[in-house]
Homo-oligomer: A and B are copies of this chain.
Amino acid sequence: MTVTAKTAARALLPNGLRDVLPPDAAFEVATVERLVSVFAANGYERVKTPLIEFEEGLLTGASRATAGQTFRVMDPITQRMMGLRADITIQVARLAASRLAKAPRPLRLTYSGQVLRVKGTQLRPERQFTQAGIELIGAGGVDAIAESVLLTVEALAQAGLPRVTVDLNCPPLVPALCRALGLSEDLAGELRKLLEQKDFTAAAALAGDAAGALSALSGTVGPAERALPVLAALDLPGEAAGHRDALLALARKVMTAAPEVDVTVDPLEHKGFEYYTGCSFALFAQGARGELGRGGEYPGDLNGTVEPCCGATLYMDAVLDGMVRPAPAPRVLVASTLARTTRRALQADGWVTVPALTAEAGAAEARRLGCGHVLDDEGRPVAV
């Protein structure tokens, strides 16, 4: 193998892992910090959890879903297995239930960081993601989940995504309805699949009247404007009606507080929402590939008792997809010996000052280094 071939082979990164080049790397960080600053201004305090911890901590309760997606390494000190986090929410919940167990509730926490997955999907081969999110610990119900939805939407708007769509769901609704209709879990699962495929004939053949009630629910999927009156008019049994009412109240609250946002509802949606015990939501934007993020109400565990929690996580690759990059800062080539105060004054005016190092700070060298400007005799930037 030649040295060049060796270098080329060495440069190859594993599938789904990548280098982020200028200017994208800076834009990602700036956007994350913009989002977190909005969360922080609204009372969410930043925490940072480790990239690795004992696997029991990472694979408990809600996070069992990510068990198959978690890289594991042996801790040479304790000989116990550790996992590389595939999600941050579960770590923040652990922190809230341990070192922050005595902090007053509701406890508002925000975070950002990298997560790793063992495998990507065909559609999304990435295995390292940047997440940013909020957790509202010790509060549940419509007001709490509305806070999560509205603050996430507001943060996205301030970061440069003013037009998002919020899809509101209520994962426990269909299971409650199936229980009330006396359907077994297996039958309910099959029925759901048929309804997702809009195969109402097969659904009716499978479950008769029960299929009818679920079909009616599937007629309320879509823009909230149109769906809410239909959903409100449905005749649902007790527990299911309670969930429906929460979804209605949430939708109305979001539409009133953020009239600029497109709200849709989907009471049948449940994929990936298994651990939510109340309403949940997913965020979308035109031009962005897939979900920008999602959130919902989930059960926290404080000293063995359940405490309600709400949260939202943003997936930065999708968020950044939909955003317009700002113009890069103008670059001016300067002599390495330029006085510090002069250099700082240029930077304060928004210039990036690139030192010419040993070369002369002339027009040719400026162009070669991607600088559009040099300094004239009076120290003012002039285009080259």
| Count of identical protomers in the assembly | 2
Cβ-defined contact, A99 with B21, below 8 A: yes
Most chain B Cβ neighbours within 10 Å, of A22, A106, A128, A370: A22
Give complex CA distance A11, B173 in Å: 33
Cβ-defined contact, A54 with B114, below 8 A: no
CB 8 Å contact bits of A6-47 with B (1 = contact, 0 = none): 011111111111111111011011000100100011110111
Cβ-defined contact, A46 with B72, below 8 A: no
CB 8 Å contact bits of A68-108 with B (1 = contact, 0 = none): 00011101111010101000000100110111100010101
Cβ-defined contact, A57 with B104, below 8 A: no
Cβ-defined contact, A304 with B3, below 8 A: yes
* CB-CB nearest in chain B for A12: B54
Cβ-defined contact, A48 with B25, below 8 A: yes
Q: Which residues of B contact A11 (CB under 8 A)?
A: 57, 94, 97-99
**Stretch from A139-147, A176-184, A188-196, A282-290 contacting the other chain:** A139-147
In the assembled complex, the CB of A39 is this many whole angstroms from the nearest CB of chain B, namely 10
Cβ-defined contact, B42 with A33, below 8 A: no
CB 8 Å contact bits of A270-294 with B (1 = contact, 0 = none): 0000000000000000000000000
In the assembled complex, the CB of A80 is this many whole angstroms from the nearest CB of chain B, namely 8
Most chain B Cβ neighbours within 10 Å, of A4, A54, A60, A128: A54
Tell me if A357 is interfacial: C-beta within 8 Å of chain B. Answer: yes
Give complex CA distance A26, B41 in Å: 12
Q: Which residues of B contact A343 (CB under 8 A)?
A: 42
Give complex CA distance A262, B18 in Å: 40
Most chain B Cβ neighbours within 10 Å, of A3, A52, A60: A52
Q: Which residues of B contact A340 (CB under 8 A)?
A: 154, 257
Q: Which residues of B contact A144 (CB under 8 A)?
A: 357
Cβ-defined contact, A116 with B52, below 8 A: yes
Give complex CA distance A353, B71 in Å: 39
Please provide the 10 A-B residue pairs with the shortest distance between their CB atoms, ordered closest to farther.
Answer: A11-B98, A3-B304, A43-B354, A22-B45, A20-B48, A17-B50, A26-B46, A25-B48, A41-B347, A25-B46
The interface of chain A, by Cβ under 8 A from chain B, is: 2-4, 7-23, 25-26, 28-29, 33, 36, 40-43, 45-54, 56-57, 60, 71-73, 75-78, 80, 82, 84, 91, 94-95, 97-100, 104, 106, 108-109, 111-114, 116, 118-119, 127-128, 139, 141, 143-144, 147, 154, 257, 301, 303-304, 331, 336, 340, 343, 347, 351-355, 357-358, 368-370
